[in-house]
Amino acid sequence: MGPRGDGVRFISSGVKLPRASPAPAPAHALLSAALPPFAHIGRAIDAAARRVAASFPRVPAARAETPAAPLPRRHGKDGGGAGGEERVLISEVAVRGKDGEPLERPELEEAAAAALRACRPNAALTVREVQEDVHRVVESGLFRSCMPVAVDTRDGIRLVFEVEPNQDFHGLVCEGANMLPSKFLDDSFRDRHGKIINIRHLDQVIKSINGWYQERGLTGMVSYAEILSGGILRLQVSEAEVNNINIRFLDRRTGEPTIGKTKPETILQQLTTKKGQAYNRAQVKRDVETILTMGIMEDVTIIPQPVGDSNKVDLVMNLVERKSGGFSAGGGISSGITNGPLSGLIGSFAYSQRNVFGRNKKLNLSLERGQIDSIFRLNYTDPWIDGDNKRTSRTVMVQNSRTPGTLIHGGEHPDHSPITIGRVTAGIEYSRPFRPKWSGTLGLIFQHAGARDDKGNPMIRDFYNSQLTASGNPYDDTLLAKLESVYTDSGDHSSTMFVFNVEQGLPILPEWLSFNRVTARLRQSYEIGPARLLLSASGGHVEGNFSPHEAFAIGGTNSVRGYEEGAVGSGRSYAVGSGEVSCRLFGPLEGVVFGDYGSDLGSGPTVPGDPAGARGKPGSGCGYGVGIRVDSPLGPLRLEYAFNDKQARRFHFGVGHRN
């Protein structure tokens, strides 16, 4: 507390008083009930209303014995007529304490007098008008009760409003507010110490407390408020608490309960809502989205159900499982093949199982085959290792691939036979989020790689006599330790992204390669009216003894457009920058204007065998052009027409976002 609140204690939930109020509202009432009125205000007003008629003397409509001056009459529905209310002429109006004595604080007397509307000296009043002024005095929030007393004096009828002020505020006890921060209450009552308790202010505080719960998706409210002796305010807050979480599987076709394949503990592990926590609607909604992103559910709903008359709710989670596995086939385009109309086409066949053992483990088996390319992959992923509270995932992978070597070792010479790079890779990776929007990956990967000719025979040197392996053997063996950190602002491709990757070759055996490779990628977008500016940059460097085919290739659809794949250069180091301005044209069609620049930073000759120098690659270049993109289930389909700084022009076609 600040200096103004010295001596005031605010207790959130640690102090418990003997319950002098009804039990807190049950959970089902919390879901829809409004704030109950203060009981003592209603009782005070009702009691005053009942006594007004008894204490207020009545004047006969006509007195035969002593003619009196006619009473003032108001025009309107109260004015003279058979149905009009009887009026009494008041000579004096006063405000006094409950004992009939003047109030100790003149400002309270002024506040009560200011609340009076109809009751004025020399006014003819009805009982109803007096009742309305009693209501106004009590509703000012400063008084516990207000009682009108009519006294017949020699000068006429004197109307006295006897009021009982509220106590001075000296402290607050708030029970049951397990979620509400103490500072919230501190700030609400910080400047109220020693001042009269104002029910209007208290009503605003209660509304703000209820609003705090509502804004955060929490089910909670102030269910009771009272003023204790000594000027202590007591607030009872009722928060809905999760009693239990029940999982129910429903049949996809009939909607009837059925037996699910997924283990219940696998679902419960994904939930941030736990038993015993406050029921948070926003948190439950996020949990539904989390379950859907697992990829094994077709539909997820969570329904709260009250538990008796308590503040607890049971959450019933209805799950509809999707088909967990199956075969698929498709096709694609290899960006590393540029010669021949059909050379880049790839066919694929895959089998996937998304819910192995009912524990959300993923098994993927795929085969891709083209005229030159072929890739066989086997991945087994556990998205959340059992018993780990950091959401660590584990992936075991085995891959056998054959890809074209044209990016580094391509050539136009007729005697230059095509080169393919064969790789057998096996490894294990662990990934986990370690900060909001940040994730990290640590892995260990073994690779056995070498070059082959079009007949499948191993090659050590190419047509230009550039070496194809770092060790001089037909194959290079590498054991890589990998560390990667990723920042993503959101899942949208146009959002901010930063990726930093470090790989270290471990020479456990003498013939294994030893090198260090560092790469980084950055992407940032800006909205400019109806258009969007997307800036991206990437770069990297390799230090040590590495295979020539692992050099950084520059140029192509995902690098510098306007050049063939790898035609700008290949080096130990590289930097590529790109800028795009895109604008939605109509429907799913989008237009784009772009510019790219890339360079090997003069590192081409340092690659073993200098393959870029042997092929006369410039080492740096830029491109610019225009294109269109169409949204599709496979991702955006990109068709671009680009010019490079050598005055050459080229079409580029791609599927999905640029790397």
pLDDT bin (cut points 50, 70, 90) of residue 550 is very high
Lowest mean pLDDT among 73-87, 196-210, 302-316, 392-406: 73-87
Does the structure show a pLDDT above 80 at 24?
Answer: no
Say what the pLDDT of residue 156 is.
87
pLDDT bin (cut points 50, 70, 90) of residue 153 is confident
**β-bridge pairing 325-333 and 345-356:** antiparallel
**Separation of alpha carbons 8 and 175, rounded Å:** 16
pLDDT bin (cut points 50, 70, 90) of residue 317 is very high
Does the structure show a pLDDT above 70 at 144?
Answer: yes
**Separation of alpha carbons 360 and 478, rounded Å:** 32
pLDDT bin (cut points 50, 70, 90) of residue 493 is low
* Mean pLDDT across the chain: 84
Task: State the virtual CA torsion across 128, 134, 137, 141 in degrees, nearest 10.
Answer: -110
* Mean pLDDT of all residues in 433-441: 93
Q: Which residue has the higher pLDDT, 75 or 636?
A: 636
Helices 127-139 and 39-55 pack at an angle, to 10 degrees, of: 150
* Mean pLDDT of all residues in 433-448: 95
Q: Which residue has the higher pLDDT, 346 or 534?
A: 534
- Using alpha carbons only, how large is the chain's radius of gyration in Å? 41
Summarised one tens digit per residue, pLDDT across range 116-127 is: 999 999 999 999
Which residues lie closer than 8 Å to 492 by C-beta, 6 or more apart?
none
Say what the pLDDT of residue 413 is.
59
Does the structure show a pLDDT above 80 at 337?
Answer: no
Exposure of 492 by Cβ count < 10 A (0-12 exposed, 13-18 middle, 19+ buried)? exposed
pLDDT bin (cut points 50, 70, 90) of residue 49 is very low
pLDDT bin (cut points 50, 70, 90) of residue 543 is very high
* Mean pLDDT of all residues in 561-576: 96
Q: SS3 helix, strand, coil % of the chain, rounded to 5? A: 15, 45, 40
**Exposure letters 196-206 (e unless 16+ CB within 10 A, then b):** bbbbebbbebb
Q: What domains are there in the chain, each with its CATH number?
A: 87-165 (3.10.20.310), 168-239 (3.10.20.310), 241-321 (3.10.20.310), 325-655 (2.40.160.50)
pLDDT bin (cut points 50, 70, 90) of residue 210 is very high
Q: Which residue has the higher pLDDT, 391 or 481?
A: 481
Say what the pLDDT of residue 272 is.
92
Say what the pLDDT of residue 412 is.
61
pLDDT bin (cut points 50, 70, 90) of residue 243 is very high
Does the structure show a pLDDT above 70 at 415?
Answer: no
Q: Greatest CA separation found in the chain?
A: 141
Q: Which residue has the higher pLDDT, 427 or 74?
A: 427
pLDDT bin (cut points 50, 70, 90) of residue 309 is confident
pLDDT bin (cut points 50, 70, 90) of residue 8 is very low
Say what the pLDDT of residue 334 is.
59
**Separation of alpha carbons 503 and 491, rounded Å:** 26
Does the structure show a pLDDT above 60 at 55?
Answer: no
* Mean pLDDT of all residues in 581-587: 92
Q: For residue 514, which phi and psi values (nearest 5 degrees)?
A: -125, 115
* Mean pLDDT of all residues in 620-640: 92
Say what the pLDDT of residue 68 is.
30
What angle is formed at CA 179 by the lines to CA 15 and CA 13, rounded to 5 degrees?
0
Does the structure show a pLDDT above 60 at 212?
Answer: yes
Structure tokens at 353: 């199982």
Does the structure show a pLDDT above 50 at 306?
Answer: yes
Say what the pLDDT of residue 491 is.
65
Task: State the virtual CA torsion across 457, 462, 466, 469 in degrees, nearest 10.
Answer: -20
Say what the pLDDT of residue 66 is.
26
Summarised one tens digit per residue, pLDDT across range 74-113 is: 333 444 433 467 888 999 999 999 888 999 889 999 999 9
